[in-house]
Amino acid sequence: MKEIVVITGAGGLIAQELSKKIGNDYEVRFLTRNKKHENEYEWNVKNGTIDEAALENAFHIIHLAGANISEKRWTPERKLELISSRVDSVKLLSDTLKKKNIKLKSFISASGINYYGTKTTEKIFSENDLPGNDFLSEVVILWEKAADEFEVKNLAERVVKIRTAVVLSEKEGALKKMLPPIQYYIGSALGTGKQYMPWIHIKDICSIYEFALKNSHVNGAYNANSPEHTTNENLTRKIANVIKKPLFMPNVPGFVLKLIFGELANALLEGSRASSQKIQDAGFRFEFSNLQESLEDLLLKKI
């Protein structure tokens, strides 16, 4: 009999790709706002409602739900939504597990590489480093604290927090947004272009979740980013190189981005490096650790 894995954030790219990857070894259930398939169960975090049947006999929860950080300007209301979609969703899960007296083998939660703060420095951050003190790091701190409650309250044997970098995929996310301007000869780096962009191939981030799921020694926080570091300017140039398009335009000035995006612009204009040595020491091996090869894998099949 297959162990049951409940995945939140059912509509997201990682959830969909991950479910295909682990579907042969586990029974996958999704928590979603709008049920469309037999293995989907409805929940509404804002209203505090959940179909409790989703958690019956569950062994693992992979928590991927959370409002998109870069989708809208960070108004006070949006900031609350970004936090609530992560923290309140975890509380709804923990309250339901406690009510039904269910203890999981593992609670594996998405987290963010912005835990260390939105800043450009020469430091390469590891999981032992302290968090930053800006809005994004605050979101991640609260997110991880909520996840840790599963262990504190004895609702899971272990808690794993995957501090995820920018996920590269041709289907959605940063790469898909960067591609059209470059294709139409108006692509350019943002700000100085020297800000680091921790990144990971969609296949590798799904493999990390699978690795965490299948290996009980994996516990605590892990940086999920490729061992190869890059800047915004280098990523832009490599995308252009792979799709064979020249870059004519000057960098987009930082003040323009701040006028358009407000405080959100800081997440585009700043960024540090992070080490993924801890997950590698645990036994994980990246399939796509080279940026050029990753972009070729994602983009050449689309041309």
Return the structure tokens found at 94. Answer: 């923990």
Q: How long a stretch of residues is the chain?
A: 303
Report, as an integer, the average pLDDT of 188-211: 96
Query: pTM for the full model?
Result: 0.95
Report, as an integer, the average pLDDT of 181-185: 92
Q: Is residue 290 part of a domain?
A: yes
Neighbour count for residue 62 (Cβ, 10 Å): 27
Q: What is the mean pLDDT of the chain?
A: 94
Range of the domain at 155: 4-232+263-302
Report, as an integer, the average pLDDT of 114-118: 94
For residue range 159-170, list pLDDT tens digits in order. 999 999 999 999
Half-sphere exposure (CA, 13 Å, Cβ side) for 151?
15
> φ, ψ for residue 163 (rounded to 5)?
-80, 95
Number of domains in the chain: 1
**Phi-psi bin for 191: left (phi > 0), alpha (psi -120 to 50), beta?**
left
Residue 119: which CATH number?
3.40.50.720
Instruction: Give the pairing type, strands 49-50 and 58-63.
Output: unpaired
Q: Is residue 117 part of a domain?
A: yes
Closest to 198 measured CA to CA, from 142, 276, 279: 276
Q: Are 125 and 58 in contact (CB under 8 A)?
A: no
Cα angle 247, 251, 257 (rounded to 5 degrees) comes to: 130
Q: Is residue 249 part of a domain?
A: no
Neighbour count for residue 274 (Cβ, 10 Å): 25
Q: Is residue 17 part of a domain?
A: yes
Residues 6+ apart with CB under 8 A from 125: 116, 223, 272, 273, 274, 275
Q: Is residue 255 part of a domain?
A: no
Q: Is residue 203 part of a domain?
A: yes
Instruction: Give the pairing type, strands 49-50 and 40-44.
Output: antiparallel
Q: Are 274 and 163 in contact (CB under 8 A)?
A: yes
Q: pLDDT value at position 162?
A: 98
Report, as an integer, the average pLDDT of 142-165: 97
Per cent of the chain over pLDDT 70 is 99
Q: How confident is the model at residue 303 (pLDDT cuts 50, 70, 90)?
A: very low
Residues 6+ apart with CB under 8 A from 35: 41, 42
Q: Where are the beta strands (DSSP E) in 2-158?
A: 4-7, 27-32, 40-44, 49-50, 58-63, 106-112, 124-125
Q: Is residue 133 part of a domain?
A: yes
Q: pLDDT value at position 255?
A: 84
Report, as an integer, the average pLDDT of 247-261: 89
Q: Is residue 237 part of a domain?
A: no
Q: Is the pLDDT of residue 20 over 60?
A: yes
Return the structure tokens found at 289. Answer: 């650790």
